[in-house]
Amino acid sequence: MSEFADKAEFIKSKLQEREEFVRESWVKAMEARLVRDELVKCHRLEGVNHLENCRWLSDKYISMLKENKVKGYKKIDF
C-alpha cells in the first residue's frame, strides 16, 4: 500500500508543478498583451511622432514576444 501512496504523491506533485509552470507562462503572456495594448495607445496618442516616442515600448514588446511564449505539456511523463 505504501508503494501506491508514494506513486500517488509523486503524480500529484508532478501535476502541481505543471500547473504552476503553465500558470506562470500565461501570466508572462498576459504581461506581453498589456504592453501591446499600451503600445497601441502610444501610437494613437503620438501620431506622426510615434516612431520616436514609442520606440522603448516597441522594443520591450518585441523582447517580450521572444521570451514570453505560452508553454504547456502535450504528454504525461511519469
Maximum distance among all alpha carbons in the chain?
A: 71
pTM more than 0.75: no
Query: From CA 75, how far away is CA 78, in angstroms rounded?
Result: 10
Kindly state the cell numbers that stand for 30: 498576459
Secondary structure (3-state) at 39: helix
- End-to-end, the C-alpha distance of the chain in Å comes to 19
Task: Kindly report, residue by residue over 31-64, the tens digit of the pLDDT.
Answer: 999 999 999 999 999 999 999 999 999 999 999 9
Task: Specify the residue for cell string 505504501.
Answer: 2
